[in-house]
Amino acid sequence: MEEKLSAAEQLAAHIERIKRGGPPKYHEKAREQGKLHARERLRLLFAGEPEFEDGLLAECLNPELPADAVITAVGRVDGRLVAAVAADSTVKAGSWGAKSVEKVIRMQELAEHMQMPLIYLIDSAGARIPDQINLFPGRRHGGHIFYNQVRLSGVVPQITILFGPSPAGAAYVTAFADVAIMVEHNASAYLGSPRMAEMVIGEKVTLEYMGGARMHCTVSGLGDFLAANEEEAIALARAYLAYFPQHYTQRPPTASPVPPAPGRPLAEIVPAEQNVPFDMYELIMALVDEGSFLEVKKLFAPELITGLARLDGRAIGIVANQPKVKGGTLFSDSSDKGARFVALCSAFNIPLLFLADVPGFMIGSQVERTGIIRHGAKFIAAVSQATCPKISVIVRKCYGAGLYAMAGPAFGPDAVLALPTAQIAVMGPEAAVNAVYANQIAALPEAERAAFIAQKRAEYAADIDIFRLASELIVDAVIPFEHLRDELTRRFAAYETKVARFSERNNPVYPV
Amino acid sequence: MQRITAMMAGIVAQVLVQPGETVEPGQEVVVLESMKMQIPVTTPVGGTVRTLHTSEGAFVNEGDLLLELAP
């Protein structure tokens, strides 16, 4: 008769079996695709083993379902505790069973109670369809994961890293988190697979075109960071987290101060003429601590730059127009990008620095018919509602509702600073004179028009001259180019203790 | 054939290349004027300019074809 194993021996056997994940052939297949096993990903994320794991023995009586295809663990990233949910694609393609869903919900509850960030490592085929009644429709089923994400949005940082597919319902995990890091070629997100698209709507399409990582990071705007490989994706998550507190009631952690990278002085970077492009990246690099700039949604709507950085070690969020792309004009996608980033920083007490050189929002039939007014309103609403410290720097021109989107005077900034090249107006001189005097100009003899136009433009220019604006207290200060970094450092230090609430109500009726 | 299109609505201020000309990746091929700004249009790839589909002074909408080049 076989000797029955003791409970301790059974436990050891279960643990050893479960930690190996799925069958060897799936590990081999993953390696061929450049994919690490979920437990290796967590080891990279935590630079070691997790502190502890919940639900290791989920479905332990079924040898085909180690941990029910998801690892829920708490670990440390640079000393701080983080809750992690990692799909194991070697087990039933990482699909969700009833226990997988329950494990995720419990880890979300832990993150809420213990006040720590949540990181979702996504690599899953979605729900196990034959089990769907046990994991899809109910109160404590899959939908509750998304409900919790929405409830926790802005309470603790939530990061997703896509290592593989994020299909159907699981795609929403990405959408409800704060940021999405996507591994090129392997990661994808879509509501219906290419196979489903062909069967249900008759479309023949490739995975990359419809839902690939690069597409989401450049076209749809769902992705925030495009990583070349898994190691880079995990390193990005660690770097990103360093700018954020554990919980919205805390301030972001500081780092050691570092001077900016050597480069041209600001006075050389910013042209005196208003209508020629310059590279806003060069200006940003001249202001921030060297190596501290972490750009968010770099590949999407590049006419607006959004990113995290440090000024003298203090974390800030930068929103800057990029004159090299579309003249720095604001479009619907850049408005959405700006709104999202402003909300992210406000949620976690990261002070905002706006660097404005904007001719306004785009005009014309194409953008009107795709809703630029409501997308722009979304951006302006986010800026209005941001309760973190806000400094607006008018670098060069700042016209029309561009002034509003870039935290102009009426939108609750703690300071509006201008560089000597700043020009603020409802519109530029050429457009303004044309708007007001079109009939008079047309009535003049042709030979006299140029002189008349020039005179009217000069009169208008006097009204948008920066010293006129400073004299009227439209701006709080005009800063010499070479003093800007120092000025910003001192102001953000003084604004650190800011406490602000925006408005008391059920919820805003938010522009979408 | 590589299509170079307008990224925003505006007027073609300058066409900087001619059919038959060789261009490098990142080279400016057209300058648009839009929102009172000079908007450089660059080619992402190198190659030979085949056909111009616009001319100086023309209005172009976002997505309109400016020129085609053979990479």
The whole-angstrom separation of Cα A33 and Cα A45 is 20
Using CA atoms, how far residue A419 sits from A128, A469, A475, A501, in Å, is: 58, 12, 10, 30
Give yes or no for a contact between A213 and A183, defined as CB atoms under 8 angstroms apart: yes
Element (H, E) at A267: helix A266-269
The token pair that represents A64 in the structure block:
């085909």
Residues 6+ apart with CB under 8 A from A162: A122, A123, A174, A180, A181, A182, A183, A187, A188, A189, A213, A223
pLDDT of A242 reads 98
Query: Are residues A352 and A333 part of one domain?
Result: yes
Chain B residues near residue A360 by CB distance under 8 angstroms: 35
Whether A511 is covered by a domain: the verdict is no
> Cβ of B8 and A362 within 8 Å?
yes
Whether A260 is covered by a domain: the verdict is no
Three-class DSSP labels, A398-419: EECHHHHHCCCHHHCCCEEEEC
Q: First and final CA of chain B: distance in angstroms?
A: 7
The CATH code of the domain that includes A193 is: 3.90.226.10
Residues 6+ apart with CB under 8 A from A325: A302, A303
pTM above 0.90, yes or no: yes
B 13-32: CB under 8 A from A: none
Q: Does B42 touch chain A (CB under 8 A)?
A: no
Residues of chain A with pLDDT under 50: none
Give yes or no for a contact between A160 and A153, defined as CB atoms under 8 angstroms apart: no
**Distance to chain A for B67, nearest Cα, Å:** 18
**Distance to chain B for A341, nearest Cα, Å:** 24
Query: Are residues A290 and A270 part of one domain?
Result: yes
> Cβ of B38 and A275 within 8 Å?
yes
Residue A485: which domain range? 266-422+475-497
Query: Are residues A457 and A399 part of one domain?
Result: no
From A274, which residue of chain B is nearest by alpha-carbon distance?
A: B37
Where a domain ends, among A226, A241, A256? A241
**Domain extent listing, chain B:** 1-46
Pairing of β A179-183 and β A188-190: unpaired
Give yes or no for a contact between A354 and A315, defined as CB atoms under 8 angstroms apart: no
pLDDT of A1 reads 53
Where a domain ends, among A202, A224, A241? A241
A interface residues, B as partner, C-beta within 8 Å: 275-277, 323-324, 326-329, 331, 359-360, 362-367, 428, 430-431
Q: Determine the 3-state secondary structure of A281 from DSSP.
A: helix
pLDDT of A170 reads 81
The whole-angstrom separation of Cα A319 and Cα A315 is 14
Chain B residues near residue A428 by CB distance under 8 angstroms: 36
> Cβ of B37 and A360 within 8 Å?
no
Contacts for A456-460 with beta carbons within 8 Å, 24 or more apart?
A: A457/A429, A457/A430, A457/A433, A460/A425, A460/A429, A460/A432, A460/A433
The whole-angstrom separation of Cα A185 and Cα A33 is 9
From A360, which residue of chain B is nearest by alpha-carbon distance?
A: B35
Query: Are residues A293 and A159 part of one domain?
Result: no
> Cβ of B61 and A364 within 8 Å?
yes
Residues 6+ apart with CB under 8 A from A356: A320, A321, A392, A393, A394, A395, A396, A398, A402, A403, A406
**Distance to chain B for A466, nearest Cα, Å:** 20
Query: Are residues A139 and A114 part of one domain?
Result: yes
Q: Does B39 touch chain A (CB under 8 A)?
A: yes
* Substitution target from A273, A276, A280, A326 for chain B, most B beta carbons within 10 A: A326
Query: Are residues A173 and A131 part of one domain?
Result: yes
Which of A493, A464, A120 minimizes the C-alpha distance to A314?
A493
The whole-angstrom separation of Cα A413 and Cα A411 is 6
* Domain count across chain A: 3
* Substitution target from B36, B59, B62 for chain A, most A beta carbons within 10 A: B36
Whether A512 is covered by a domain: the verdict is no
Instruction: Provide the 8-state DSSP code for A358.
Output: E
Whether A315 is covered by a domain: the verdict is yes
pLDDT of A463 reads 85
The sign of the CA dihedral A218, A224, A226, A230 is negative
Whether A141 is covered by a domain: the verdict is yes
Three-class DSSP labels, A6-18: CHHHHHHHHHHHH
Give yes or no for a contact between A241 and A159, defined as CB atoms under 8 angstroms apart: yes
Query: Are residues A444 and A415 part of one domain?
Result: no
Give yes or no for a contact between B41 and B28, defined as CB atoms under 8 angstroms apart: yes
Chain A residues near residue B42 by CB distance under 8 angstroms: none
The token pair that represents A469 in the structure block:
């604006």
Query: Are residues A78 and A27 part of one domain?
Result: yes
Query: Are residues A345 and A454 part of one domain?
Result: no
Three-class DSSP labels, A95-135: CECHHHHHHHHHHHHHHHHHCCCEEEEECCCCECHHHHHHC
> Cβ of B36 and A431 within 8 Å?
yes
Whether A2 is covered by a domain: the verdict is no
Query: Are residues A433 and A415 part of one domain?
Result: no
**Distance to chain B for A359, nearest Cα, Å:** 6
Whether A255 is covered by a domain: the verdict is no
pLDDT per residue over B4-60, tens digit each?
999 999 999 999 999 999 999 999 999 999 998 999 999 999 999 999 999 999 999
pLDDT of A275 reads 87
Where a domain ends, among A207, A241, A275? A241
Instruction: Please tell me which of the candidates A277, A367, A428 has its beta carbon nearest to residue B38.
Output: A277
Whether A9 is covered by a domain: the verdict is no
The token pair that represents A334 in the structure block:
């850049």
Chains A & B: contacts with CB separation below 8 Å:
47
Residues 6+ apart with CB under 8 A from A166: A122, A124, A160, A173, A174, A187, A188, A189
